[in-house]
């Protein structure tokens, strides 16, 4: 165990998955970029509900562009320009759409990743600032089940909340990954 921790510190391990890979290199984990790309397709129904007043072509263009942005790992400015170019929307609307779709995609990918690992419960965490919704602030620090599909982090427009896996031993598995807030719109590595 000490060797593993030393290697983790030396290699700057940032999350539990990376630590598990060090302990057993044969373990295979889903690629976060692939999961986020697939999550765009899964979130289509929510997007269609929210944008029901928009043309189907617009919704399709947004979904296709979002997948393209994720695959290419574009920074926010490049992503906004690409969305403006493909959908003919204003810069402020393109920024809103890009931010929302990236946050939603990463949240959905994280949810799917945890379900694939057999995680059934999580701890809800907000960013801890005054921009969090009241309902989300009330959920902060609460243990929730993935089977409760009423509301989960990242499912609402521009939600920045995150999940921490709840282990069978009843402890929070610390996960240092964060939703990118800076220049890149791809998963942090």
pLDDT tens profile 174-183: 444 443 444 3
Question: Residue 105: which pLDDT band, with cuts at 50, 70 and 90?
Answer: confident
Q: What's the predicted TM-score (pTM) here?
A: 0.62
**Listed residue (143, 146, 124, 148) closest to 135, CA to CA:** 124
How far apart CA 30 and CA 66 sit, in angstroms, is 19
Q: What integer pLDDT is reported at residue 82 of this predicted model?
A: 95
Please tell me which residue, 51 or 155, carries the higher pLDDT value. 155
Q: The dihedral of CA 176, 182, 183, 186: what is its sign?
A: positive
Task: Render pLDDT for 23-68 as a digit per residue (tens, 0 to 9).
Answer: 555 545 555 666 666 666 666 566 666 666 778 888 888 888 988 9
Question: What is the rounded average pLDDT for all residues in the chain?
Answer: 74
Q: What integer pLDDT is reported at residue 92 of this predicted model?
A: 94
- Go through 164-187 and write b for each residue having 16 or more CB atoms within 10 A of its CB, e for each that does not: bbbeeeeeebebebebbeeebbbb
Assign 182 to helix, strand or coil.
Answer: coil
Question: Residue 185: which pLDDT band, with cuts at 50, 70 and 90?
Answer: very low
Q: What is the DSSP string of 110-149?
A: HHHHHHHTT--EEEEE--SSTTS-HHHHHHTT-EEETT-T
Q: What integer pLDDT is reported at residue 10 of this predicted model?
A: 60
How far apart CA 136 and CA 127 sit, in angstroms, is 10
Over residues 149-166, mean pLDDT: 83
Over residues 65-91, mean pLDDT: 91
Q: What integer pLDDT is reported at residue 100 of this predicted model?
A: 87
């Amino acid at each position: 165990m000490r060797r593993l921790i030393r290697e983790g510190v030396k290699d700057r391990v940032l999350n539990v998955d990376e630590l598990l890979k060090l302990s057993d290199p044969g373990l295979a984990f889903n690629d976060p970029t692939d999961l986020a790309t697939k999550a765009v397709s899964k979130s289509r129904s929510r997007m269609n509900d929210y944008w029901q007043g928009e043309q189907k072509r617009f919704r399709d263009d947004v979904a296709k562009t979002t997948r393209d942005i994720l695959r290419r790992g574009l920074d926010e400015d490049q992503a906004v320009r690409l969305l403006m170019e493909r959908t003919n929307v204003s810069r402020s609307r393109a920024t809103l759409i890009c931010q929302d779709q990236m946050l939603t995609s990463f949240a959905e990918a994280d949810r799917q990743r945890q379900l694939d690992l057999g995680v059934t419960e999580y701890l809800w965490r907000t960013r801890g600032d005054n921009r969090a919704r009241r309902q989300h602030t009330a959920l902060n620090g609460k243990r929730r089940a993935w089977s409760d599909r009423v509301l989960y982090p990242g499912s609402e427009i521009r939600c920045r909340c995150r999940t921490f896996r709840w282990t069978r031993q009843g402890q929070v598995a610390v996960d240092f990954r964060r939703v990118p807030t800076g220049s890149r719109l791809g998963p942090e590595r």
